[in-house]
Amino acid sequence: MKAAVIGGGLAGVECAKALSKNGIKVDLYEMKPKKHSPAHKLDTLAELVCSNSLKAERLNSAAGLLKAEMACLGSICVETAYECKVEAGGALAVDRYDFSRIITEKIKADENITLIEEEVTDLPEGYDGTVICAGPLASDGISKTIRSLCGDGLSFFDAAAPIVAADSIDMSAAFTQSRYDRGGEDDYINCPLNKEEYEAFYDAIINAESAELHSFDKKKDVYEGCMPIEVLASRGKDTMRYGPLKPVGLTDPRTGHRPWANLQLRKENKDGTMYNLVGFQTNLKFPEQKRVFSMFPALKNAEFVRYGVMHRNTFIDSPRLLSGDFSMRNNLYLFFGGQITGVEGYMESAASGLMSGINLARRLQGKNTIILPEDTMIGALSRYISDETVKNFQPMGANFGVLPPLPDKIRDKQERYSALSERAMISLKSSLAEY
């Protein structure tokens, strides 16, 4: 049996290695060094194109839990990260050149893996299974092929509003109601502003600092039909009140009147542990988002599990296209891995590649594929990207908001995170023992 893996980023190398460990021969296709994306500079595999940090190392953090789970599954990226670790406080940071070089050496030394350095524009033929691990800057050639497979379920930019943890919303300053009472009573959480609060928010947002865009993010079509909230605000003092902050059809029970302005929060997942700020796509710097959006009284102590982003990012509408094992719903031997699946972040991408490799190998061997329990970080992310109830799908990174809540509420945040991580590791090890 032989598999093809398209893309030699973090997801691709994890996928290829997982297939190899399970006895499957692999052809790993990577267009470098013959061709580079606008962001890539090195000729080696698993290049870190932005930060050299793989985020927090401690187990009682979402990023730390993710890496601990990956280590249990035999991750080549976690293993290599510790081989070239550099001091970075509580983060796991690496020498990016050594990281890429060492992983490339490991892949080339694997007798089950053949590295083919050429661009793929069509699905290669003659394989028993294929995994597409094209990254967020997938080439035009493979993007056309992906579009032919996914139809309209392929996006070329990531325009996402911030997401907050449900239990961090101050409900004493909010109320639940759908506009004109159309829909369920708790479909939306409303965060009202009076006139004075709105004017202060307006002044803050038009003076807030935006993130710098890469040259390949500045194309006009990136933001078509999706205006950043700060750009809308710059067009006039009341533009937000006629847009995402319109208060029509709502009554604040505290005053008995319609709010001057109102932000609606919508459930991001079926468990209601996360809510997104409706219509608040933004390119503000992350600290600015925290500062400005926390000016809503209901969000004064909000925990942002994901900040808003607007940049070039090729990803598919996974909830409509993929199962939780990362295979296509209509093609059991075609898998996707990496950021293109709708996970966001270095290690999240690597983890999805790892799971797609494990599951393709199991499918080729006639075994059941694995979807890890929902109380593990990898399991929760795999469910998020395959949850058909998710509307307006946008990529998601590791955060504790995607995990189901604990049976008993723990108020102290660090204690709660420790309990969630402990539960996840116990659940993961118990699950793996069954296979």
Among the listed residues 156, 165, 163, 155, the one whose alpha carbon sits nearest the alpha carbon of residue 278: 163
Q: Are residues 287 and 386 in the same domain?
A: no
For residue 224, the model assigns a pLDDT of 40
Domain that holds residue 211: 163-307
Query: Which whole number is the average pLDDT over 114-125?
Result: 95
Q: Give how far the C-alpha of residue 382 lies from the chain's centroid of Cα atoms, to the nearest Å.
A: 10
Residue 165: pLDDT band with limits 50, 70, 90:
very high
For residue 312, the model assigns a pLDDT of 65
Domain boundary among 257, 290, 307: 307
Answer positive or negative: Cα dihedral of 65, 70, 76, 79.
Answer: positive
Q: Is the pLDDT of residue 221 over 50?
A: no
Q: Is the pLDDT of residue 411 over 70?
A: yes
Percent of the chain with pLDDT over 90: 71
Query: Which whole number is the average pLDDT over 398-425?
Result: 94
Among 41-50, 112-121, 371-380, the minimum mean pLDDT is found in 41-50
For residue 158, the model assigns a pLDDT of 56
**Angle made by CA atoms 420, 425, 430, in degrees to the nearest 5:** 125
- Name the domain count of the chain: 2
Q: Is the pLDDT of residue 281 over 50?
A: yes
Which of 271 and 286 is assigned the larger pLDDT? Answer: 286
For residue 216, the model assigns a pLDDT of 42
**Count of other CB atoms within 10 angstroms of residue 402:** 24
Among 97-111, 122-136, 165-179, 206-220, the minimum mean pLDDT is found in 206-220
Residue 393: pLDDT band with limits 50, 70, 90:
confident
Q: Are residues 24 and 90 in the same domain?
A: yes
The CATH number of residue 412's host domain is 3.50.50.60
**13-52 burial, b for 16+ CB within 10 Å, e for fewer?**
bbbbbbbbebebebbbbbbbeeeebebbebebbbbbbeeb
Q: Are residues 273 and 345 in the same domain?
A: no
Q: Position 194: which residue type?
A: N
Q: Are residues 66 and 200 in the same domain?
A: no
The CATH number of residue 301's host domain is 2.40.30
Task: Tell me the angle at which helices 62-72 and 76-83 cross, rounded to the nearest 10 degrees.
Answer: 110
Residues 91/56, Cβ–Cβ less than 8 Å = yes
Residue 395: pLDDT band with limits 50, 70, 90:
confident
* Mean pLDDT (the chain, rounded): 90
For residue 179, the model assigns a pLDDT of 84
Query: Which whole number is the average pLDDT over 96-122?
Result: 96
- Taking only the tens place, the pLDDT of each residue in 20-35 is 999 999 999 999 998 8
Among 159-168, 344-353, 426-435, the minimum mean pLDDT is found in 159-168
For residue 269, the model assigns a pLDDT of 75
Residue 67: pLDDT band with limits 50, 70, 90:
very high
Domain boundary among 291, 307, 323: 307
Domain boundary among 307, 341, 365: 307
Q: Are residues 103 and 48 in the same domain?
A: yes
Q: Beta strand pairing status for 129-132 and 331-336?
A: parallel
Query: What distance in Å separates the CA atoms of residue 360 and residue 164, rounded to the nearest whole number?
Result: 34
Q: Are residues 133 and 171 in the same domain?
A: no
Q: Are residues 185 and 282 in the same domain?
A: yes
- Taking only the tens place, the pLDDT of each residue in 241-279 is 999 999 999 999 999 999 999 999 988 777 788 899 988
The dihedral region occupied by 151, where left means phi > 0, alpha psi between -120 and 50, and beta the remainder, is left
Q: Are residues 57 and 146 in the same domain?
A: yes
Q: Are residues 329 and 365 in the same domain?
A: yes
Residues 317/390, Cβ–Cβ less than 8 Å = no
Q: Are residues 8 and 149 in the same domain?
A: yes
Query: What distance in Å separates the CA atoms of residue 309 and residue 194, rounded to the nearest whole number?
Result: 28
Query: What distance in Å separates the CA atoms of residue 305 and residue 391, rounded to the nearest whole number?
Result: 18
Q: Are residues 181 and 295 in the same domain?
A: yes
Q: Are residues 279 and 323 in the same domain?
A: no
Among 325-339, 346-360, 403-417, the minimum mean pLDDT is found in 403-417
Query: What distance in Å separates the CA atoms of residue 214 and residue 291, rounded to the nearest whole number?
Result: 24
Residue 22: in which H helix or E strand, if any? Answer: none
